[in-house]
Homo-oligomer: A and B are copies of this chain.
Amino acid sequence: MTIPLPGTQVRGSRTGKPIMALLDLVGRNWALGILWNLQQGPATFRELQLRCEKISPTILNNRLKELKALQLIEMASSGYQLSVAGNELISIIFPLGEWSHKWARQLTGDEQKLQLKGSR
């Protein structure tokens, strides 16, 4: 998979509008999960595997490469950690944590309305 560098053609946009590059990036499985888990502090490769419960090393490595190339994370002696930009990104997204609880309460409140089966 190519790295969604803003300004180049990315999945979902030939114009390469930065937001589209960003949405391509975060639309990749685990990308946000990795950043989210790095909030708790730097982690080694294996530590990250644990924090992300069920990530495979292949995909962890792919995402790390992409996030590194896009300068959202960096490797220090203590392991992988958020870069300045990565921190900014996470802090924008941070309110999602609290919002998701409210959303979850609302959803399970009217569970009976959901069609959970046959989603594919």
Q: Are B36 and A32 in contact (CB under 8 A)?
A: no
A100 to chain B, nearest CB (A): 4
Could you tell me if A18 and B103 are in contact, using CB atoms closer than 8 angstroms?
yes
Contact partner of A53 (CB less than 8 A), chosen from B1, B13, B106, is B13
A21 touches B116 (CB 8 A): no
**Does the CB pair A11–B29 fall under 8 Å?**
yes
Query: Could you tell me if A69 and B115 are in contact, using CB atoms closer than 8 angstroms?
Result: yes
Given known pairs A6-B100, A28-B27, A32-B23, the reply for A69 and B106 (CB within 8 Å) is no
Are B92 and A88 interface neighbours, CB within 8 A?
no
A7 within 8 A of B: yes
Q: A71 is contacted by which of B55, B88, B99, B107 (Cβ under 8 Å)?
A: B107
